[in-house]
Structure 1
Amino acid sequence: MSLYQHARNGDIERLRDALGSENVAVRKRAVELLGELADPDDQATIDGLLRAASTDDDPKVRGAAVDALDAVGQEALEQLLTELTGGGGSEAEWVTARKFARALKADRPELRIAAANALERLNEPSAVPAVVEALSDPDPRVRLRACQACGAFADPRTIPALVERLEDEPRVKRAAANALGNVGTDRALDPLLNLLDDPDESIRRIAAGALGKANNPKPVEPLARALGDESAIVRNAAVYSVIELLSNVPTEQSHAVRDQVVSELKAADDETVVEPLVEILTRGQQRRQRRNAAWILGRVADPDAAPAVEALADALADDDPQTAQFAATSLKTLGGPVVEDRLLDRIGTEHPESARAKAVFVLGSVGGQETLNRLEDLTDDESAAVRKRVFSAVSSLRAGGG
């Protein structure tokens, strides 16, 4: 029976037996599966992983055992560090962090890996200098974990050393880019601009996804270029970041940035831009991002783009009044038969009063004869807000304003 079948059956004892196999690949896979299955109180399995991390002849098995102990839980990982460094018992986090920081200088790379993993979980600021120093460790596995720890700290002190790791091997480079994105300051994000042209798709995605945190308009043009990326996940990340960027830039720069964003997005492929904008508007959790998505859709979507029009029409009932108002303004800007048709579906009494009133308001500008006929039937609507909009819209349409 294979290790996978043992794991599927929950037969942890058989997996522990496999730790004694002469086959390195078997031992490594057994370690990985035990890390996924073991509970923090399964001391027998933890003991087996501790032995693998401490005594196995193969460095890959030892490294996998460290990661498995990390997966089991902080206490399991600390057992390894306590066993290898001494100490133990109840102590303040900064004391534990200092002990683990010392372990970053240990002779054995597995111990340094374990220390970096543990410091990532502790997130103790006093350990930042030691972790930064570990970014230059000769073992790439340690550098990788040190990058991940720096990402958890999100401390500006880590920026210079993380930037150096952008010249490292791919997995370390990815971790460094992620960490710089987590730090999120303009100084941390600036080096990511160059990564939008990286040959590695995952690196480009990380950079595109992080640049929306910037507090200046510098990333707008590079992100707009990323809208033409061959990778759909990179294009999607770029659109999300453009919207986030609009929410982050200082108020005094927002108008200029909006104009630049609209110009760049209009030049991009319509489907590339509209699909993520619709997703942000319909599923986004942040009001400012939904507002920006509603506003931009009216300026970059095709008037016949049914998904965009549908999303904007639905947004007329948004809980956020500004999002609803931006949606109405965008529908008015788009105009056309698709907009008219969708809005006529939303003037019935089954829809919220505010949404109906906004739909009528827009129809007064974009509607035709059918709209006029439908609105004339609403002149005695039970809602005063809707009646007010109806009278205005009917007057406009009769005067040829549609």
Structure 2
Amino acid sequence: MKVWLFRLLFGAAVLGVIGSAVWNNIATNRLIEQATGTDPAAQVQALQQMAQRDDFFDLIQSRRTPARLRVAEGVERLNSPDAVKIALAMLRDPEPKVRDRFLDALRKIGGNHLEALAEGLKNGDSKVKNGTIQVMSELGLKCLPVALKAFEDSGARDAAGEVLTRFGSASVPGLLKLLRNTQDEGLQLSAISVLGRIGDRRAVDAILPFLKLPPEKRRVVLTALASIADPRTESVLIKAIRSPDEDPDARAQAALGLGQMATPSALRALRAGLEDPNLIVADACVSGFQRAGTKALGMLQDALQSQNAATRRRAVLALGVLNDAQAVAMLTRALNDPDATVRRTAADALGTTGHPNAIPALIAALAHPDGGVARNATRSLVKIGAPAIPALIIQLRSPNPTVAYFAAHALSQIPEAEPALLKAAENPATQRYALVALKERASYAAKPLFERAARSEDPVMRQIAESALQQLSQ
């Protein structure tokens, strides 16, 4: 009797558990249907309930894309912290159009619930974090107080720092207040880093005392000061770039800051830095000179006289961004540097200056005895593009077949060159290499010219034409 009663009670318990699970499953499905449905009132009520569940994202993901998109409409109607919570979670959706729709929803309701929105800054999913940064940046300075508050949280700090950086100078007073009031070294260094990225000179006096930190932490301070590039910190940056004990990346940042200042003493420090044994620092000095612009020409001329080929090459790289006649003249002389790497780098650099004087120098370099220089000059003429076409067309008649071929090869890669090439292919003096260029372009407009050349008495012309026609027929 007792065994029978026990079995009865056990069976009833099992049935109760099963029944409860079935009922919960039915209730959950009904909740999902309402949350993704078309009844506005039912949808809002369902979303309020779902927001309290840890599995609400997975539940919504069980529905097709149109249903998930409808949730965004409900989120906008709900317009509450819970609605923001749901919208943030939906930024993890695998469908880009769903994520974009919930970003729109956050733009509409996030400004009403900023603290809930700021929770997205500490989310571990990069899509949620980046979406939150984007929305807060677009909502503007109304988000500044919550961004500053989030910045104090180590879990949200990096993302909040990005928002504060985007707000620029408006963030500076709040960051300076944090810097003065906190004893948290991590927060201090993060604030210094953001202030550096903003680049506001009001931060300099507050940052300078932190130069007393150990080198591994001082790198953050030096990087910030270099980014701000306040003339008052010139001596600090010069000391840093000259000190092999400083972090190489910090010294590299100092080089960029000195280039921004471009004072005579800053440029002298960069000139010395071009020969630094640390390649990170030496290469950063190139970028520093590039920032200095034409003010750097004197020091770069001096660097071109260095006995060290690597230093001369770095000077050439720095000159390559200067759209200046003097820079072009210096690069033209460097085409005959005793070191092949320097010569070839100069041929490349001439193409990046954007100055018209570079064209005749590069045309002349097509005949350079160093084939690497000639090839790089060809590439630079392609980079210059349309302005180089007339000079290149003239070279198609060069008695030097190598020069004529390099000119043809360059013209084959300049999109605007086809009309000039078709015309040159009618001229006996330029016909052969014009056809070579048109063949390399696979020009259908040149097909009649190839057909005519295929009947030429010149076997080379026939070979070019027949090869081109075969290529066009494939």
Per-residue CA deviation, residues 148-169 of structure 1 (Å, 9 max, x unaligned), is 454444x544321111222322
Superposition pairs for residues 101-112 of structure 1, below 5 Å?
A: 109=185, 110=187
Unaligned runs of 5+ in 2: 1-56, 58-87, 94-98, 107-115, 412-416, 434-474
Matching residue of 1:215: 297
Matching residue of 1:267: 339
Residues 1:77 and 2:155 are matched in the alignment? no
2: distance between equivalents of 1:169 and 1:337?
A: 53
Matching residue of 2:420: 351
SS in 2 for 1:318: helix
More helix by share: 2
Residues 1:163 and 2:238 are matched in the alignment? yes
Superposition pairs for residues 247-326 of structure 1, below 5 Å?
A: 247=324, 257=330, 261-264=334-337, 266-269=338-341, 272-273=344-345, 276-277=348-349, 280-281=350-351, 285-287=354-356, 299=368, 301-302=370-371, 305=374, 308-309=377-378, 312=381, 318=387
Per-residue CA deviation, residues 204-235 of structure 1 (Å, 9 max, x unaligned), is 3322333354221112145972289xxxxxx6
Identify which of 126, 143, 161 aligns with 1:67.
Answer: 161
2: distance between equivalents of 1:308 and 1:47?
A: 55
Instruction: Tell me, yes or no, if the aligned pair for 1:301 and 1:308 is still in contact at 8 Å.
Output: no
Superposition pairs for residues 123-138 of structure 1, below 5 Å?
A: 123=200, 127=202, 130=205, 133=208, 136-138=211-213
Residues 1:121 and 2:203 are matched in the alignment? no
2: distance between equivalents of 1:28 and 1:134?
A: 35
Matching residue of 2:460: none
> Which amino acid counterpart does residue 286 of structure 2 have in structure 1?
A
Q: CA 1:165–1:188 in 2, change beyond 3 Å: closer, same or farther?
A: same
1: distance between equivalents of 2:385 and 2:307?
A: 29
Q: CA 1:240–1:197 in 2, change beyond 3 Å: closer, same or farther?
A: closer
Choose 1 or 2 for highest CA Rg: 2
Q: CA 1:238–1:5 in 2, change beyond 3 Å: closer, same or farther?
A: farther
1: distance between equivalents of 2:332 and 2:361?
A: 12
Q: CA 1:310–1:111 in 2, change beyond 3 Å: closer, same or farther?
A: closer
1: distance between equivalents of 2:223 and 2:383?
A: 43
Q: CA 1:309–1:41 in 2, change beyond 3 Å: closer, same or farther?
A: closer
Percent of aligned positions that are identical: 13
2: distance between equivalents of 1:335 and 1:270?
A: 28
Unaligned runs of 5+ in 1: 86-102, 229-234, 372-402
2: distance between equivalents of 1:81 and 1:66?
A: 12
Identify which of 99, 109, 119 aligns with 1:16.
Answer: 119
CA RMSD after TM alignment: 5.8
Offset, 1:337 = 0.8
Identify which of 270, 275, 283 aligns with 1:192.
Answer: 270
SS in 2 for 1:263: coil
Q: CA 1:75–1:201 in 2, change beyond 3 Å: closer, same or farther?
A: same
- TM-score normalised over the length of structure 2: 0.46
Q: CA 1:53–1:338 in 2, change beyond 3 Å: closer, same or farther?
A: same
Q: CA 1:263–1:339 in 2, change beyond 3 Å: closer, same or farther?
A: closer
Matching residue of 2:60: none
SS in 1 for 2:249: helix
